[in-house]
Amino acid sequence: MLVFLFTMLLVVGFNTILWIVAGAARVVAARVPSSSVAGSHPEPSDVAIVIAAHNEELVIEATIRSAAVQVPMGNVFVVSDGSTDDTVRLASEAGATVLDLQPNRGKAGAIAAIVKQYQLPDRFEVLMLLDADTQLSPDYLRTGLPLFSDPGVVTVAGRATTLIDPRPPTRMGRLLVAYRERLYLSVQYFQKFGQAARYLNAVSIVPGFASMYRTRILSSVDIAAPGLVIEDYNMTFEVHAKRLGRIAFHPGAAVAFTQDPDNLHDYMRQVRRWSLGFWQTVRRHGLHRGRFWALLVLSTGELVTSSILMALLLPLILVSVTAGLLAAFGLDPTGTAAEIVAVVPPLALVLGLLIPDLMLSLFAAVVSRRPGYLVRWPIFPFLRVLDAVLNLRAMFEAFVLRTDGRWSSPTRRLVSTGS
């Protein structure tokens, strides 16, 4: 029983339980009448949308059209970071203001360049960072901008959901996309919602795929800090380290659809890049005093230990099952196999891994109304193990490698722009 419970806790995570409790407290607090009066919030005309792109000709037009539904086209800015395809031409023809950087300098450097080039903080109240493969839900600003009614909120984290149209062409691609969507749902409902509680303010990432910042804080944020492969973790940590304000998030607000990798090579490269960016940011910022940093120590500690144990879990199950078979067929003259089974019962390990994973898949199936998650869930634990291995590798690389931030996008699926 202890092995079963320990394995379940490993799979679910202590921090996840903590944030679920915090999220539940938010739900209860929201039902209690409040005497506070919400302030005004920015309007869509106050928002500049910046799209950083590197060789995104397959998706850039659809993304610009999605942005132009939210704000006037004059508020849409594209920075092409060393693109060698038709990104610049297509973005210009779509009506966006385009800055063509040559050679490429990395996403963070490209964002900093276009913000400075067009003096966006002087012209707009809010800056939205939008990935070139991302499309905004029709009510993105209508639901997201009211979160700025609290003057203490300086950034609104968008809620990610995976873009399933166009459909991945292979079974592996559909599996990977489904797994990412399940991860988005579990992290954003079970963790980020609790982290964004007013008196915790512990959100660790404002994702760069589709999130908003008050432009008045941008001069205090080192957007293009050197040596980082991604910018969003660093920008988030800058907000906390410099005590610039609160980060808001709600799973029903500021929703955007992103195109996740649909082949194993691109998936592994992306996960490694995201993990490396996190650990590079931890290395760069170190620790500070405050609630966020104390909670960061707890979460990173669990991330390391859970990754190690998850990476060892499948080999441990294999050893335990093998030992059980040897003992069952009388092939254990020394009694060693029986002792292994007594210490790590194979059934307890398997159930401890699969039951919480099945619960996550059931949750994803209900929330997304896609029962296919229940068909794919036996494969998801193997992807979790892969994530753990990639995270451990990235953690090591973050402290021995230096990167310049230059990037290449995963293989994209062509998005129709309509007539």
pLDDT digits (tens, 9 = 90+) for 142-175: 999 999 999 999 999 999 999 888 788 899 999 9
Least confident range from 269-278, 295-304, 336-345, 380-389: namely 336-345
Section 55-63 average pLDDT: 94
User: In the predicted model, what is the mean pLDDT of residues 320-325?
Assistant: 86
Q: Of the ranges 6-15, 219-228, 241-250, 379-388, which is most confident?
A: 241-250
pLDDT at position 29: 85
Q: How far is CA 201 from CA 5, 150, 212, 247, 383, in A?
A: 30, 13, 16, 6, 30
* pLDDT tier for residue 419 given thresholds of 50, 70 and 90: very low
Residue 37 has pLDDT above 60, yes or no: no
CB 223 within 8 A of CB 115: yes
Angle at 173 between CA 172 and CA 177, to 5 degrees: 120
Highest mean pLDDT among 28-32, 38-42, 383-387: 383-387
Residue with the bigger pLDDT between 322 and 239: it is: 239
In a domain, 322, yes or no: yes
> What DSSP string describes 115-165?
HHHTTHHHH-SEEEEEETTEEE-TTHHHHHGGGGGSTTEEEEPPEEEE--S
Summarize the chain as % helix, strand, coil (round to 5): 55, 10, 35
* 338 inside domain: yes
The answer as to whether 278 is a domain residue is no
Asked if residue 236 belongs to a domain, the reply is: no
Range 40-62 average pLDDT? 95
| DSSP state, residue 68 | H
| Top mean-pLDDT range of 15-29, 108-122, 161-175 | 108-122
Q: How far apart are CA 276 and CA 262, in angstroms?
A: 20
> Has residue 318 been placed in a domain?
yes
Quote the pTM value.
Answer: 0.90
Q: pLDDT band at residue 36, thresholds of 50, 70 and 90?
A: low
Nearest Cα to Cα of residue 87 among 115, 105, 64: 64
pLDDT, tens digit, for every residue of 366-385?
998 888 888 898 899 899 99
Q: Model confidence at 413, in pLDDT bands (50, 70, 90)?
A: confident
The mean of the pLDDT values for the chain is 90
Q: Would residue 385 count as lying in a domain?
A: yes
Please report whether residue 371 resides in a domain: yes
Question: What does the pLDDT average to over 260-285?
Answer: 94
Check pLDDT > 60 for residue 296: yes
Does the pLDDT value for residue 181 go beyond 80? yes
pLDDT at position 238? 97
Tell me the C-alpha distance between 209 and 146, whole Å: 20
Residue 416 has pLDDT above 70, yes or no: no
Is residue 380 within 8 A of residue 364, CB to CB? The reply is: no
Distance CA 334, CA 296 (A): 46
- pLDDT of residue 32 exceeding 70, the answer is yes
Q: Tokens at residue 327, please?
A: 């003992």
Q: Is the predicted pLDDT of residue 313 greater than 90, yes or no?
A: no
In a domain, 183, yes or no: no
d(CA 179, CA 264): 12
Which range, of 112-116, 131-135, 236-240, 325-329, averages the lowest pLDDT? 325-329
Which residues constitute the domain of residue 313? 2-12+297-398
Q: What pLDDT score was predicted for residue 38?
A: 62
Does the pLDDT at position 345 exceed 90?
Answer: no
| Number of domains present in the structure of the chain | 1
What pLDDT is recorded for position 417?
58
User: What is the mean predicted confidence (pLDDT) over 111-115?
Assistant: 96
Average of pLDDT values for 257-284? 93
Q: Is the pLDDT of residue 276 over 90?
A: yes
Q: Is the pLDDT of residue 393 over 80?
A: yes
